[in-house]
Amino acid sequence: MDLQLSGRVAIVTGASKGIGLAIVRGLLDEGARVVAASRTSGPGLDALAGPSLVHVPVDLMDPEAPARVVERAVEAFGRLDVLVNNAGGPPPGATLPRLSFTGPTDDDWREMFEFNLFSVVRAVRAALPHLLESDAAAIVNVSSCNARQPPPMNVDYNAAKAALNNLTKALSEEYAPRGVRVNTVSPGPVRTDWWTKDGGAADVLAEQTGAGRDAVMDKVAPEMMNLSTGRLADPREVADVVALLASPRSASTTGADFAVDSGFAKAV
């Protein structure tokens, strides 16, 4: 299927690894020009270097950062058609999972919302004037299955993602009539650095359960979360859905939430 993304300009935040890197790769494969925003680049992003890719090193905890990314995109490519707000998860310096409501402090809550919600608000605010000039504009916000089915852990993260879903619906109601579609993609557990890095989720759960870190990712976590597929998702599986929603082929899809969660969410 031709997704009709050739020549279009997309911003992807949190682009240096995991889901973000897979999104960048997928959009480039479809012929899009991509501005990748992340604090650092990394070998995966460096390997994609070329005339259709610009990396902007920014920390989205900085309130001015989203506007700088948008400015650089328009400067480099002259337009903006797609905004993918992928950056999220633990704020810089934080480690999840947090296993109890009493774990996060007020500062933890503020930082979680700063990273997962307010940075998106600022990016959308900066991007909208340019997206409104596009003939097929799209915003895709990467949320989480925990926004709809929150477990009794990571309560600050889950609440921030629920707010992101609400924001997405509101933006769609206001701007879809003006040509800017807005949707969310909600991953479940995905085999990314969030799980695999030293001290990451696999190590935290390994300490809690007494299992090895590989066993946590291959068996313990899928069973604990009752994943229908029996495995964590691959980042490219999320990226493929993002690319479809960014595409003009999804012209009648807006205000929707697409789960890529290995069957985690059971409710109808």
What local confidence, expressed as pLDDT, does residue 97 receive?
Answer: 81
What angle separates helix 119-131 from helix 65-77, to the nearest 10 degrees?
30
Burial 210-235 (b: 16+ CB within 10 A, else e): ebebeebbbebbbeebebeeeebbbb
What local confidence, expressed as pLDDT, does residue 152 receive?
Answer: 87
CB contact at 8 A, 35 and 76: yes
133 vs 85: CA distance, rounded Å = 19
What local confidence, expressed as pLDDT, does residue 174 receive?
Answer: 98
DSSP string, 184-233: EEEE-SB-SHHHHSTTSHHHHHHHHH---HHHIIIIIHHHHTT-TTSSPB
156 vs 171: CA distance, rounded Å = 23
Q: Whole-prediction pTM value?
A: 0.95
CB contact at 8 A, 130 and 71: no
Residue 257, φ and ψ in degrees, nearest 5: -125, 125
pLDDT in tens, the chain (268 residues): 899 999 999 999 999 999 999 999 999 999 999 999 999 999 999 999 999 999 999 999 999 999 999 999 999 999 999 999 999 999 998 888 888 999 999 999 999 999 999 999 999 999 999 999 999 999 999 999 999 988 888 999 999 999 999 999 999 999 999 999 999 999 999 999 888 888 888 888 899 889 999 999 999 999 988 999 999 999 999 999 999 999 999 999 999 999 999 999 988 8
User: What is the topology classification, in CATH, of domain 9-190+234-260?
Assistant: Rossmann fold (3.40.50)
Which residues are designated catalytic? Answer: 157
Specify the domain boundaries for CATH 3.40.50.720 within the chain. Answer: 9-190+234-260
What local confidence, expressed as pLDDT, does residue 95 receive?
Answer: 83
